Structure 1
Amino acid sequence: MHKRFIPLDADERTTLQAGWHHHRQHQFRARCQGLLLSADGQSVPALMQVLHVSRMTVYAWFTRWETGGLAGRANAAGQGRPPVLTAAAEQRGQAAVRANRQPLKKVTATLRQELNKGFSPRMLKRFLKAVVGRGAGSATG
């Protein structure tokens, strides 16, 4: 059976270790960790078990590293779940919060109807904290 490992030089290892420990995206960190473990002699089945991914995923990581280097580790545009609430809803959210500070369920119902999207009061609260800022987010509840 063909065994595949990724050789790394010292600079590549340092860069991947930084990505593994500090990058904001979980998928990027897992890819970095997988490459580091491969360079340390871990087999593909071992990587599959440790990182809870399929064989095809591990081989795709290897191929992307060989063809694209570190840039091949990042998620391509359009990957992942699109957000339910976007920054375009920011002004509507601010207006709804000003009009109905309490309870958050009223704000949620108003925005669900205006945006024609389903989401929970908890999701709205997280969105408002992230987009509108602490003032409006903490006042909602």
Structure 2
Amino acid sequence: MKNELASPMKCTIELNDVEKRTLEELALRHPYEDFRVRGQGLLLLGAGQRVHEIATQLDVSKKTVYNWTNAWREKGLCGLLNGHKGGRPHSLCEDMVATAVAAARAQSMTLKQIAQCIEAANGMPLPCRLETLAGELKRAGFSYKRGRYSLKKNATNRSLP
């Protein structure tokens, strides 16, 4: 048997103009940083850079660049857009959000009253601030404003010299 050194497999992709433009848009405008990095990596790979150089430049492992390449070859853009795992998990579970939405739909309530409904339904204190609850309700299609006293100005007050 002949003892051969296995040379590393060359990892390259060829991109047409439409694919390049799509990856450029992904790299510039996607809201998640990890997707922007994936787009940059494939653009660099398409430009002929080596996997090691790309991994060093983008601060990822070589295996990650190979994974992006395989995902691109198998599923195209959809392969790159799968798997965003970043970000902090929501403070409120789905049950708590459903309870809050139901309470908000039942009658007009303040955020504090909605929070009390959630606490009563779950038997535990609200795991977040009221602002977080307001954000979750906003995602569900509700909006709340803090009640304020307004100063009513009449015409005589505005026309003082």
- The answer to whether the superposition gives a TM-score over 0.5 is yes
Letter in 1 for 2:101: Q
Instruction: Compare CA radii of gyration and give the structure with the larger one.
Output: 2
Greater RCO (CA < 8 Å, at least 6 residues apart): 1
Distance 1:19 1:61 in 2: 14
Identity %: 28
Give the TM-score normalised by structure 2.
0.61
In structure 1, what is the Cα distance between the partners aligned to 2:21 and 2:57?
A: 21
Distance 1:24 1:57, change over 3 A: same
State which of 27, 30, 41 in structure 1 corresponds to 2:34: 27
Q: Is the CA contact 1:38–1:47 (under 8 Å) kept in the aligned structure 2?
A: yes
Question: Displacement of 1:64 after TM fit?
Answer: 0.6
Which of 42, 51, 55 is the matching residue for 2:62? 55
2:54, 2:123 → 1: CA distance? 43
Q: Deviation per CA, 1:3-59, whole angstroms, max 9, x where unpaired? A: 423221211101111222233443332221210122223332333334333322221
Q: Retained in 1: the 8 A contact 2:101–2:137?
A: no
Between 57-66 and 118-127, report the one with greater CA deviation.
118-127
Task: Select between 11-20 and 119-128 the one with higher mean Cα deviation.
Answer: 119-128
Q: 8 Å contact 1:28–1:75 — kept in the other structure?
A: no
Q: Does 1:120 align with 2:110?
A: no
- Please give the alpha-carbon distance, in whole angstroms, between the structure 2 residues aligned to 1:96 and 1:30: 45
Cα pair 2:35 2:80 within 8 Å, conserved:
yes
CA contact (8 A) 2:24 2:39 kept: yes
Equivalent pairs, count: 134
Q: Any conservation in 1 of the 2:100–2:114 contact (CA below 8 Å)?
A: no
Residue 107 to residue 90, structure 1, CA distance change in 2 (3 Å):
closer
SS in structure 2 opposite 1:139? coil
Q: Aligned equivalents of 1:46 and 1:89: distance in 2?
A: 51
Residue 118 of structure 2 corresponds to residue 111 of structure 1: yes
